[in-house]
Amino acid sequence: MSKGLIAIAVLVALAGIVLFSSVYTVHQTQQALLLQFGAPQRIDTEPGIHFKIPFVQDVVPIEKRILALDIEPEELITKDQKRMVVDAFSRFKITDPLQFYQAVRTTGQARSRLQPILISSMRAVLGDEEFVTLLSGERSTLMAKIAEQMNQKAGDFGVEIVDVRIKRADLPEANKNAIFNRMQTERQREAREERALGDEEARRITARAERDRTVLLAEAEKQSEILRGEGDGARAAIFNNVANRDPEFYSFYRSLQAYRAALKGDDTTMVLNPKSDFFRFFGDIGSVQGGAVR
C-alpha cells in the first residue's frame, strides 16, 4: 500500500473521530448541559441530534423526568405529645439544570441533600398538629404544607418538589401496646356500665310488669265479685219471682235441694219424726220403726 493511501485512510479516520466527537444525542427523557472547559455554554432541552466542538466541549446529561425521594420511617412528636412513626416519600423534578449542576451535580447527591429537608419539614408541619389530624381528611392539606416548606429550600438546588405523600403514620410499638391496653380497659368499663344499666332496666321492667299484673288481677277479682254479686242478685230475684208466682212449687224446689244436700252416699241414716215438715213431699213414707226412717 502506498504512503498516499495510508495518509488518506488516516485522514478519513481522524475525520470520522472528529465528526463522531462533535455529535451527541439528547434523549426525550433528558436534557443536556454543554460545558466548555468546565464552563457552562448552553442547555439543550429538545430531544434529537446536537453538535458540539470536539475535544473542547463536554455534555452532561440531566434527568427531565420526575424523580423519587424516599426516606426511612421517622419518629416524631405531635402537638398533643403523641409519639408516632411516619413513613413518607416525595417526588421532585429538575427545573434549572445549570443551578442543579452547580449545586449538587448528580441526582444521588440531590437525594442526599433533600432527605434532611423532607425530614425537617415533616417535623415542623406535623409537630404543630394533633395525632387525630393525621388520621382525618386533613392529611392532604398537611402534605401540601410539607411540599411548600421543602420548595423554600429545594429551589437552591434547581429542583422543584411536586408531591409529598405519607404512606403510613403509626404509633411506636410500645405505645401501641399501651394504647391497646387502655382501649381494652375502656371498652370493658363501658361494657360493665351498659350491663349495669341493662340490669337496672330489666328490674324496672320486671317491677312494672309485676305491678301491672297485680293491678290486673285485682281489677279482675273486683270485676268477678261484681259479676258474682250481680248473678246472685239476679238469681235471688228469679227465686223471689218464682216464689211469688208459685209458692208451692218453690217450696218443693227448695226441699229437693235440701234432700240433695242431706241424702248423700249409699248409707244415709236420719232420725226424724215422720211427721216432720222435712218429709212432707214424701207422702206415705211406709214402714216406721221406733221413729227411725230409712
Q: What is residue 121's predicted lDDT score, i.e. its pLDDT?
A: 92
Q: Read off φ and ψ for residue 53, nearest 5 degrees.
A: -80, 120
Which residue ranges make up each domain of the chain? 3-63, 67-171
Strand partners, 293: 270
Higher pLDDT, 146 or 17: 146
- H or E stretch covering 234: helix 173-245
Higher pLDDT, 292 or 65: 65
Task: Report residue 93's pLDDT band, with 50, 70 and 90 as the boundaries.
Answer: very high
Q: What is residue 109's predicted lDDT score, i.e. its pLDDT?
A: 92
Q: Report which of 126, 125, 123, 97 is spatially closest to residue 110, judged by C-alpha positions.
A: 97
Mean pLDDT on 133-152: 85
274, pLDDT greater than 70: no
Homologous superfamily of domain range 67-171: Band 7 domain (3.30.479.30)
CA distance 146 to 142: 6
CA distance 262 to 278: 11
CA distance 247 to 241: 10
Q: How many CB atoms lie within 10 A of CB 25?
A: 12
Beta pairing class for 39-44 and 30-36: antiparallel
Range from 48-57, 104-113, 209-218, 280-289 carrying the lowest mean pLDDT: 280-289
Residue pointed to by grid coordinates 381494652: 184
pLDDT in tens, 186-239: 888 888 888 888 888 888 898 899 888 888 888 888 888 888 888 888 877 777
